[in-house]
Amino acid sequence: MTVALIPFTAAGPLSRQWFGVASSATLDDGPEAVRLLGNDLVLWRSPSGTVVVAPDKCTHSKRQLSKGTVDEGRLACPKHGWTFGDEGRCIFKPSGLPITDNAHLKTYPCTERYGLIWMALGDPEASVIDLPWDDDPRYRRIHSEVSAWAASPVHVIETILAKTDSEPVDVSAELPFSVHTRYRSDDGSEHRRLVTCAPVNSRASRVATVVWTTAPDADDAKVVEEVTSDLEEVRSVAESMAAPSPAVETAATPDENALSQDWKHRLSDLASSGT
Ligand code: FES
């Protein structure tokens, strides 16, 4: 078993991974502040309809842009009103002074899938996790939610994997911090659940949950409750586990099941891949 420390910093291998950091639905209410691998970011939906992810600091004098307002896709800084549009470009200064290159925001790779906003801090080395049933007409996506947990993403995933021995039809873990679970209900319909973690740092995560079902007339709230009922306990266990900072060891323990050991092995390889 390879043992490695996975650094929870923007300079490490996690910078090249996609993370589901926010729900597409919540962005319609204005800018959102997100912290990923210790970096403070602002997300908003720009005039073209695409999401922009940028540092949460105005290029004028560093005021938090996430405290600003969005009007028809234009994000206005709360301090002096510099305004930013598509691709983070500064498009308005109330002073009327010229807009120079250094007024524009640096932006990060970003895309939307499964009702989530995915981003990477560096150049992603692969695509966002592929879940083909999202395009399968037999399935309906009925839930996409993101919440903040005071737990390392390593501990969230290992806790879920430790509990998945019997009930679901199948379970798979994807790097870096995603678990997909398939369930079959008594009436023959299938439900699928994705839990994916975006590391705030080594001790905290944004945990996204997405649920699909094939049941055409199901009570969606009931299905979601059914397939997420274990997450409260997962959260409680994961939040009680002390996470060292700023790196977490990826080694598996002998009492972990094969699924968890395999995921830890791959995570160790990722951690060893450097920057
Ligand atoms: S700090 Fe943002 S416009 Fe001045």
Task: Verify whether ligand 1 is closer than 6 Å to residue 94 (CB atom).
Answer: no
User: What pLDDT score was predicted for residue 199?
Assistant: 96
Residue whose Cα lies nearest atom 4 of ligand 1: it is 80
Of the candidates 12, 41, 19, 29, the one whose C-alpha atom is nearest the C-alpha of residue 208 is 19
User: What pLDDT score was predicted for residue 2?
Assistant: 53
Give the distance (Å) from ligand 1 centre to CA of residue 249: 41
Residue with tokens 């798979």: 172
Of the candidates 187, 183, 195, the one whose C-alpha atom is nearest the C-alpha of residue 147 is 195
- Tell me how far apart the alpha carbons of residues 31 and 94 are, in angstroms, rounded to a whole number: 20
Q: Reduce the secondary structure of 109-153 to three states and give it as a string.
A: CEEEECCEEEECCCCCCCCCCCCHHHHCCCCEEEEEEEEEECCCH
pLDDT by residue for the chain (275 residues), tens digit each?
556 788 888 888 999 999 999 999 988 778 999 999 999 999 999 999 999 999 999 999 999 999 999 999 999 999 999 999 999 999 999 999 999 999 999 999 999 999 999 999 999 989 999 999 999 999 999 999 999 999 999 999 999 998 765 566 789 999 999 999 999 988 889 999 999 999 999 899 999 999 999 998 889 999 999 999 999 999 999 999 976 656 666 777 777 888 888 998 899 888 888 65
Give the distance (Å) from ligand 1 centre to CA of residue 58: 6
Contact 161, 171 (CB under 8 A): yes
Task: Verify whether ligand 1 is closer than 6 Å to residue 77 (CB atom).
Answer: yes
Ligand 1 atom nearest to 80, measured from its CA: 3
User: What pLDDT score was predicted for residue 47?
Assistant: 93
| pTM of the complete model | 0.94
Structural domains of the chain, ranges and CATH numbers in brackets: 26-119 (2.102.10.10), 132-272 (3.90.380.10)
Residue whose Cα lies nearest atom 1 of ligand 1: it is 61
Give the distance (Å) from ligand 1 centre to CA of residue 91: 13
Task: Verify whether ligand 1 is closer than 6 Å to residue 82 (CB atom).
Answer: yes
Give the distance (Å) from ligand 1 centre to CA of residue 108: 21
Backbone angles phi, psi at 180, to 5 degrees: -110, 135
Query: Is the bond preceding 55 in cis, omega lying within 30 degrees of 0?
Result: no
